[in-house]
Amino acid sequence: MNKRIIEEGFKEILSNGLGLDLTNPGLLETPERIARMFCEELFNSEDVKLTTFDNEGVFENKEEFDEIILFDAIPVSSMCEHHVLPFSGLAYFMYIPDKLIVGASKPARLFKKYSTRLQLQERIGKQVLKEFTDVVKPLGVMIVYHSVHACMSCRGIKQTTGGGMTISLTWGVFRDDSAARIEGLALVQIAQKERR
C-alpha cells in the first residue's frame, strides 16, 4: 500500500471533486487521516496460522470431543466493494471436530483476515469456511453471520432501522443432518439471549 498516493488522491477528491476547502481547520489533516486509516486499520491484513491440537485425549479417559463447539458473537467489520462503505456485525461460528481442535481465538482471527479488504459479506463467510475446513478437516462447520450495511442505511433504500443481512453457511454434518443444523441454530439463539 502507498499511503502518500492515497492521501494525494483524497486531497483531489475532497478539494476538486467535492469542492471542499482543505484549509478549513476540520479538514486540514483529513486526507492524511483517511490514508492512515486505510493503510493501518481497514486494509491491514495479517496472515493467520490455524493452531490445531490433537483431539484425542481431551478427557481423562482419552476420549475425543465429538460435539458442537460454538464461538459466539465474533465482531466482524469490513468495507463493501461496491460503494466502499462499511458493514459490521456479529458472526457465530461452530464446528464438530474430528481429529483436530483449534485454539479459541482462531475463528475470530480468520474473520479478521478476510474482512480487512474490500469485501462482500457472503464471500467473507465462504473464505473463512474454506480455510477452516481445508486445515482442520472437521466433521461439520456452520456459520451464522449478521451485518448492518452502510450502503443500505445511508444511501439507496436508506434503511435506518438497523436492518441488514444475515447469511448462513453449512458444511459436512451441518449440511447433511437437519438435527445437527437445528441444534446449532438453537445454540446461536441461546448465545444471543445471553448477550441481552
Give the max Cα distance, the chain. 71
pLDDT band at residue 158 using 50, 70 and 90 as cut-offs: confident
> What DSSP character marks residue 164?
-
The rounded percent of the chain whose pLDDT value lies above 70 is 97
The Cα-based distances of 28 to 6, 22, 34, 66 in angstroms read 15, 5, 12, 58
Report the C-alpha gap between 3 and 60 in whole angstroms: 54
Residues forming beta bridges with residue 101, ordered by sequence position? 53
Catalogue all structural domains in the chain, each as residue range(s) with its CATH number. 3-42 (no CATH), 52-195 (3.30.1130.10)
Give residue-wise pLDDT tens across range 90-129.
Answer: 999 999 999 999 999 999 999 999 999 999 999 999 999 9
Report the C-alpha gap between 102 and 50 in whole angstroms: 7
- Rounded to 10°, the helix 121-136/106-115 angle is 140
Give residue-wise pLDDT tens across range 38-93.
Answer: 999 888 877 888 889 999 876 776 778 999 999 999 999 999 999 999 999 999 99
Structure confidence at residue 5 (pLDDT): 96
63: its cell numbers: 476420549
Structure confidence at residue 27 (pLDDT): 95
Structure confidence at residue 151 (pLDDT): 86
H or E stretch at 119: strand 118-119
CB contact set of 26 (below 8 Å; sequence gap of 6+): none
